[in-house]
Amino acid sequence: MLGISRRPANAPDRRAPLALPRPLEVLVVGGGIAGLAAATILAERGARVTVLEPDNFLGGRAGAWSDTLADGSAFEMERGFHAFFRQYYNLRAWLRRIDPSLGFLRPVEDYPLLGPGGLRESFAGLPKLPIWNLVSLIRRSSSMTLRDALRVDDTCGRAIMAYDPVATYAQFDRQSAQAFLDKLGFPPQARQMLFDVFSHSFFNPEQEFSAAELLMMFHFYFVGNPEGIVFDVADGPFSKSIWQPMAAVLERRGVRLCLGEGAVHIDRGPDGRHRITSSKGQVHHADVCILAASVPGLQQLVADSPGLGQPRGAAPEDPGIGHCWREQVAAQSVTARFAVWRLWLDRPCAPGRAAFVGTTGLGLVDNISLYHLFEDESRDWAARTGGSVVELHAYALPGDVDDDAIQADLRRALHELYPETRAARVLDERFFVRQDCPAFRPGSHPQRLRVDTSDPTLHLAGDFVHTPFPTALMERAASTGILAANHVLHHHGAAEEPLWSVPPRGPLARLIHRKGLRSPG
């Protein structure tokens, strides 16, 4: 049972036939979570699906690729750990195709937050009932008291408890998360420990993050979440525990997975169907296209495909049809850079260390992950060598910080928090900086892309695409992929896939929005 407050997010027509009434050729651009979720649902309904993925591995930003350490050990490298929260209902339902019991996930019972001066917060043992989980966290907090909570700005405080998918964005989208938190009036330490680390988890700097988006995510992960704030993690590299088994599931359904082959141009063939030219010079034809690329990848493809977004029969040069959609695509943006630094050390970390800790106020570092405590591949290496595998993350990086400065700051924080690592020798390391996560800037909500387009044979999916119910990160990717598939199924008269959500509105939304809620400032 996923929780008494889990809600249906759609109402599929149970009378519709399960399978598509006629053969349908579908091409999916992008082999990440969104694209593969769409491919799975459509293949199960009888569509002939082809997936084009420019990388040589599946999973997108949750993928993993093969590498070799200096000692000859083969390993799988990733872009950082990913938390499988228990309210990721649609992601988890999709992953049950590879293991109905989700046996490749293991629970993480706590996710401590570490701050300056020895500050520490814990999410372990909180009640799952919304509101009471927040009260319990404040009661035991080392950085905030109930008296502090009572001093919080009333309007802002109520806004947290009254998330509404329409009213919240109307009132708070044009305001930055930083401005909202400034007005909230939390004590500085409490704000740092409870909110700053939370907003950074979405890679967006507070001053460039919509307050409405912050409120939605706080509702999704905490206030409206009946599952609790702790999460599960994969017990092995994503490539082996998820993507290789998922590829086998898809291939059994007849899905063609074209790795190392991206889409570079889409137009209409003489028969009116989509004609997709790939980076390998191959030409694919499809009745339906689902674009599940990253923001930069989508923008490049749309820019290089002048007719994309035009309904069938429209002239590519007609500026009145599909023009607004193309402008919306061009208006999307990515947020600040993030860094991942994995270190293979020659000695263990101290006993009792948590597998994950979040950090705030300690420099650039936002997270420390001890891979040997949860991932089988790293655990085997550590057991064989007597060492440890430590990964440091830094989100929402300032634009003027170079790689050397990032590493120096991360190293300093690691040695300060985990003194036993100061004398450790680095046997190997992998460091990279990326900038491809979606931005949710103040005032950008009206320009958010939707799953459907002006062309009924063209759909979008990804964690930057709007959903009509609260979602974020991997759950938004999976949900939009399923939504895209459902649009296709509905159009062709086949049964849609069920979707689930946390309660779509905050516990005080009905009361407060009936009376009206003034937007502060």
Q: What is the pLDDT of residues 344-379, one digit of tens each?
A: 999 999 999 999 999 999 999 999 999 999 999 999
**Angstrom distances, CA of residue 183 to CA of 146, 214, 271, 353:** 18, 14, 58, 36
Q: What values do phi and psi take at 24, rounded to 5?
A: -140, 130
By CB neighbour count within 10 A (0-12 exposed, 13-18 middle, 19+ buried), where does 252 fall? exposed
Instruction: Choose among 143, 177, 82, 144: nearest CA to 367.
Output: 82
**The predicted structure's pLDDT at residue 286:** 98
**The predicted structure's pLDDT at residue 111:** 82
Say whether pTM exceeds 0.85: yes
Q: What sign does the dihedral 148-149-151-152 (CA atoms) show?
A: positive
Say if residue 484's pLDDT is above 50: yes
Say if residue 132's pLDDT is above 90: no
- Whether 459 and 290 have beta carbons less than 8 Å apart is answered as yes
179: its two tokens: 């401005």
Q: How far is CA 501 from the centre of its chain?
A: 15
- Distant-in-sequence contacts of 419-423, Cβ < 8 A, 24+ apart: 420/347, 420/348, 420/349, 420/350, 421/345, 421/349, 421/390, 423/347
Strands 500-501 and 337-345: unpaired
- pLDDT band of residue 508 (cuts 50, 70, 90) is confident
**The predicted structure's pLDDT at residue 137:** 67
Q: What is the pLDDT of residues 393-433, one digit of tens each?
A: 999 999 999 999 999 999 999 999 999 999 999 999 999 99
Q: What is the pLDDT of residues 31-80, one digit of tens each?
A: 999 999 999 999 999 999 999 999 999 999 999 999 999 999 999 999 98
Say if residue 320's pLDDT is above 70: no
Say if residue 518's pLDDT is above 60: no
Helix (H) or strand (E) holding 405: helix 403-417
From the CB of residue 516, how many other CB atoms can be counted at a distance below 10 Å? 8
- pLDDT band of residue 259 (cuts 50, 70, 90) is very high
By CB neighbour count within 10 A (0-12 exposed, 13-18 middle, 19+ buried), where does 255 fall? buried
SS (H, E, C) 179-212: HHHHHHCCCHHHHHHHHHHHHHCCCCCHHHCEHH
- pLDDT band of residue 152 (cuts 50, 70, 90) is low
DSSP 37-73: HHHHHHHHTT-EEEEEESSSSSBGGG-EEEEE-TTS-
- pLDDT band of residue 516 (cuts 50, 70, 90) is low
DSSP 425-479: -EEEEEEEEE--SBP--TT-GGG---SB-SSTTEEE-STTS--SS---HHHHHHH
Torsion of CA 11, 217, 434, 442, to 10 degrees: 100
From the CB of residue 495, how many other CB atoms can be counted at a distance below 10 Å? 18
**The predicted structure's pLDDT at residue 17:** 77
Say if residue 136's pLDDT is above 90: no
**The predicted structure's pLDDT at residue 1:** 23
Torsion of CA 396, 402, 404, 409, to 10 degrees: -40
Q: How far is CA 436 from the centre of its chain?
A: 12
Instruction: Choose among 106, 97, 101, 86: nearest CA to 33.
Output: 97
323: its two tokens: 């023009």
